[in-house]
Structure 1
Amino acid sequence: MDLMINDQQITLLHPSVNQVVDSINNLLNQDNYYSHMIADGVEIYDDCATYLAGHLADIQTLEVKTKTLMEFIHDNLLLAKDYLDRAIPRVIHLTDRFYKNPSKEDWLAFEELLDGVQWLEKMLTAIDRTNKHPENWGQYTAIFSSLQKVLKNVEEALQSGDTVLIADLVLYEIEPLLKRLSDEIKRTLGVKEQSET
């Protein structure tokens, strides 16, 4: 297998998935962040290790695409903005359902909300580990510190089965924090708010 990253190319003879991943990590540097890979023309963005495990013996050329630090930060913040643009409007409907009697679908939507918040946290943690941050980074960390405290209260409400408390926490604490996070991301990205007419 020929492994290519930027201007570097190495040949791996009968590699394991771990050897391929280790080789990729060794070829990346502090100025380049992993984006995705192309295995014999097939672009792979998600769960690359699983793809490699299933196709490793057949792959002739594996090209790893990278991003600069600023591209990495920008692209992740853009993904977060898009997620928040979709998620925030759904929160009101979800809390209304929890104030009444949440259905199985409502519980699934709530779980998706928590998964989304967890994804946001992982993404911001990845940016936090870099050596550059947006100017307003202190606001991001303050929001996530508050969000982590609220999530502990949500966990307690889940354990007690208190759907009204869950709705209160989502509506009055999580949703405003998500809006603040969205505003900070838009400020970082330079997104202008559209005025309502």
Structure 2
Amino acid sequence: MKLLYKSEQFNLKNNVASITTIFEKVNDSIEGNDFVFSHLIVDDIEVYDKHEDYLKEHIGEIINVEIVTRRTKEMIWETMTSVNSYLERAIPALRTLVDESYEKFTDKTWNGINQLAEGMQWILQFTSFTKNAHQQPSNWDSIEESVKKCEESFSELIEGIEVQDTVLISDILSYEVTPAYEELRKNLVISLKDERFLKNVN
């Protein structure tokens, strides 16, 4: 199989040992540069997670593996846009979830809460990544403060879940989580208007 990265090309054997070589090349491609690893393209299929598992599963038939990187600021911008789009959908869904939860807690309610928790984990990963970058978008302090409020509200939510207090859970979703999400989205929208940061993403 061929390993591709920018203009470089390497011939590798179709065996498990080559997977180590691939990830060594990933590390080499970003070390000391303002780049981050984005994903692999394996025979025209974009693989964003569980890369090693995917490679092992298909190792005997792979023809091409391409390493895709992004500039750090480009990755921040793309993820910030995705988080904003997520919140745009999540906030109305959260309001509906709250209304329904006050009437009756169902499996759908618990599934909705689990999905919120997964979304929160993703937001925290984005925040951690951006905080450690060389440059943050405008209004970053306000975004960080909003994320902190979201995190605190989820801590309270977990306490309510642990004691199975459905009224408390609904109250926290309504009066803590929803306003925190709304404030975070407002601050993200401000950052996404930062044309200087956007112009430098290239």
Shorter-chain TM-score bucket reads: 0.7 to 0.9
Same amino acid, percent of matched pairs: 27
Cα distance per residue 1:83-129 (max 9 Å; x no partner): 11110001111111222221111111111111111111112212222
Q: Secondary structure at the match of 2:60?
A: helix
- Is structure 2 residue 84 aligned with structure 1 residue 84? no
- Distance 1:152-1:5 versus aligned 2 partners, 3 A rule: same
Q: Please report the TM-score for the alignment, with normalisation by the length of structure 1.
A: 0.88
Aligned position for 2:128: 125
Counterpart-to-counterpart distance in 1, 2:24 and 2:105? 46
Q: Point out where structure 1 has 5 or more consecutive residues left out of the alignment.
A: 192-197
Aligned position for 2:110: 107
What letter is aligned with 1:7? S
Aligned position for 2:4: 4
- The equivalences for 1:1-197 within 5 A come to 1-13=1-13, 14=15, 15-29=17-31, 30-190=33-193
Q: Point out where structure 2 has 5 or more consecutive residues left out of the alignment.
A: 195-202
Counterpart-to-counterpart distance in 2, 1:183 and 1:77? 12
RMSD across aligned positions (CA): 1.9
Counterpart-to-counterpart distance in 2, 1:170 and 1:36? 34
Counterpart-to-counterpart distance in 1, 2:148 and 2:186? 17
Cα distance per residue 1:61-96 (max 9 Å; x no partner): 211122112211110011101111110001111111
Cα distance per residue 1:148-172 (max 9 Å; x no partner): 2222211111111111111111111
What letter is aligned with 2:79? N
Extract structure 1 runs of 4+ deviating beyond 4 A: none
Counterpart-to-counterpart distance in 2, 1:23 and 1:56? 17
Shift of 1:16: 4.2
Contact 2:2 2:9 (C-alpha < 8 Å) held by counterparts = yes
Q: How many residues align?
A: 191
- Distance 1:176-1:26 versus aligned 2 partners, 3 A rule: same
What letter is aligned with 2:150? L
